[in-house]
Structure 1
Amino acid sequence: RKFDTGDSVGDIPITKDDMFFTWALGATDDIADRHARPMRGAFAVNILQVPSVPTSFERKVELSNDFQLSYNINFLMRRITFEATVASTGYVGFGISPSGSMYNADMIIGGVDDDGISYFDVRIILQAIYA
Structure 2
Amino acid sequence: MTGWNRLEDPSPQLLQQAAASFGLLASTMRLHIVWVLSQGEADVGTLADRVGGTLQAVSQHLAKLKLAGIVSNRREGRRQVYEVEDPQVATLVRLMIEKLDAAEPTAFGEVRRLRGSGV
- TM-score of Structure 1 vs Structure 2, range by shorter chain: under 0.3
Structure ranking higher in helix proportion: 2
Q: TM-score scaled by structure 2?
A: 0.26
Q: Which has the higher contact order (CA 8 A, sep 6+)?
A: 1
The answer to which structure has the higher strand fraction is 1
